[in-house]
Amino acid sequence: MSAPRGGSSEPAGAWEAVIGLEIHVQLRTDRKLFCADSTRFGDAPNANVCPVCLGLPGALPVLNREAVELAVRAALAFGCEIHETSIFARKNYFYPDLPKGYQISQLERPLATGGQFTVDGRDGKAGAAVRIRRIHMEEDAGKSLHDRFPRATAVDLNRTGTPLIELVSEPDLRSPEDTRAYLQQVKQVLEYLDVSDCNMEEGSLRVDANVSVRPVGSEELGTKTEVKNMNSFSGVERAIRCELVRQQELLSRGGRVEHMTLLWDEVRGEVRPMRTKEESHDYRYFPDPDLPPLVLLPAMVERIRSELPELPANRRARFREEYGLPAYDSEVLTSSRALADYFEEVVGGVDDAKQASNWVMGPVMATLKERAWAPEEYPVPPPTLARVIQLVQGGTVSTSVGRDLLKKVIETGRSPDEIVEGEGLAQVRDEGQLEGWVDEILAAHPDEVSRFKGGEAKLQGYFMGLIMKASRGKADPGEVVRLLAAKLRR
């Protein structure tokens, strides 16, 4: 049985997937949510703890203002209504990595509700429309380390109290592919907003999925399961597909889906139930008596709104309209804010946006990949790349020499003009010099010349290659083609 894909092409009797995501995002602050401990990743275990995050008697939490501002920024970007008053509540449960015995979160009165996010589909078309139920703030728990010591579990509390937002969607997603696209684009928005580093490997972005199936055409929701422990985009897609197949098979055999929590096993590619003891919580939420209600001044919310950057979807649309770029180019160039900024600075220095796009998507991105650089680490300033493009467009150097030139700029730090001048790279258009190369090659290959004259037209490319080589890439290809045609016609 194949996984449901949604859409109108489903055969009768097929199942429809119903998927919602809960995304936990670590906010990019130096300090924890309620104390001054560092949130740095990778410090020695239990180096960053204090009486507040350990929950020692008498310690009182103080809310981190920066974290609130970041949470508001995210909520505004997803079109949520920001509530003037929200309440921090204690979520009570026992776990070794939770020394307080409760986690501070928000339940009945969250920071924000009622948002909306439209996934950008392929070719600039609108994809899935996903309602955002709520965005609330909470602190993270610590970490149990099961692989540190043999037959023992270690606890690292550095993460305890790290500020998070939880972004909860309505179950509006209909396929594993759409879910992956949604998650990728949500991550992109969060990165553009600079509210989180979104590093999935370090746990800065964690995802749980609520998954159910129902017969196509049905409006009722089936019993859902919760899938946890997905650590990558592909993991999310595979885990959900796997769980959908399991539910469909169960229902098709006349069985019933039971509400439970499942863990995704990346290595074995399967979901398995979490022990019920671990999931049967009654959290007994109540407002945290140590924290007053969080009251946001409208002026502060408006200031944050006015400071929102242009979001990826808007930027993609603008790249298509303002620069006339294909949807694919717009998508690639806006994949990170730094890359999009870079492109826009390059385009300011050349008159052909598509050329600028080709150079950024071609040689620039190839170098980023080769050197494992982030776009912000690319050492060629935009005006310098613009100058290389101008030299190619103006015919001073060929495209391939232009590409080499860019590499030499990185290696030597010299300007493109200096390198062209110093190494004599300028394209040769002098008729006499070009003719010299052409005659040399034709004279050295009499057999090929007669075969060409006998009708083997494809040999022209062969001659071109040899002539370009003889000129060390400096011959103007257009002129060579013209000369070659003139000489071989005789």
∠ at Cα 442 (487, 462), nearest 5°? 95
Is residue 53 at the binding interface for Zn ion, with CB under 5 A as the rule? yes
Do 333 and 319 contact (CB within 8 A), yes or no? yes
Please report how close the Cβ of residue 249 comes to Zn ion at its closest, in angstroms. 47
Is 141 a residue that touches Zn ion (CB under 5 A)? no
Q: Please identify, using beta-carbon distances, which residue of 32 and 315 lies nearer to Zn ion.
A: 32
- Cβ of residue 34: shortest distance to Zn ion, in angstroms? 7
Minimum distance of Zn ion from residue 157's CB (angstroms): 9
Taking CA atoms, 93 is separated from 60, 102, 422, 475, in Å, by 20, 6, 71, 75
Q: Is residue 37 close enough to count as binding Zn ion by CB under 5 A?
A: yes
State yes or no: residue 50 binds Zn ion (CB under 5 A): yes
Q: Which stretch binds Zn ion (CB under 5 A): 46-54, 185-193, 265-273, 301-309?
A: 46-54
Q: Classify each residue of 87-97 as buried b or exposed e, where b means 16 or more C-beta atoms within 10 Å of its C-beta.
A: bbbbbbeeeeb
- Least gap, CB of 43 to Zn ion (angstroms): 13
Contact 227, 266 (CB under 8 A): no
Shortest Å distance, C-beta 96 to Zn ion: 18
> Which CB, 138 or 172, lies closer to Zn ion?
138
Rounded least distance, CB 99 to Zn ion, Å: 11
Q: Which one of the spans 48-56, 238-246, 258-266, 313-321 is the region binding Zn ion (CB under 5 A)?
A: 48-56
Alpha carbon 309 to chain centroid distance? 17
Residue reference for tokens 């003891």: 277
Compute how many residues bind Zn ion; rule: CB under 5 A.
Answer: 5
Cβ closer to Zn ion: 1 or 36? 36
Interatomic CA distance for residues 136 and 80, integer angstroms: 11
CB of 63 to Zn ion, least distance (A): 13
* Listed ranges 28-36, 208-216, 221-229, 463-471: which one lies at the site for Zn ion (CB under 5 A): 28-36
Q: Does 35 bind Zn ion (CB under 5 A)?
A: yes
Residues 400-439 that bind Zn ion (CB under 5 A): none
Q: Does residue 67 touch Zn ion according to CB under 5 A? A: no
Does position 243 interact with Zn ion (CB under 5 A)? The reply is no
Q: Choose among 232, 206, 250: nearest CA to 26.
A: 206
Least distance from Zn ion to the Cβ atom of residue 194, Å = 24
The DSSP letter of residue 472 is T
Q: Return the number of the residue (50 or 327) whose C-beta is nearest Zn ion.
A: 50
What's the rounded Cα separation, in Å, for the pair 87 and 26?
A: 20
Token readout for 80 is: 């949520």
**CA separation for the pair 256, 250 (Å, rounded):** 7
Length in residues, the chain: 490
> Is 308 within 8 Å of 77 (Cβ atoms)?
yes
**Cα Rg of the chain (Å, integer):** 30
- Which one among 52, 119, 346, 425 touches Zn ion, defined by CB under 5 A? 52
Residues at the interface with Zn ion (CB under 5 A) = 35, 37, 50, 52-53
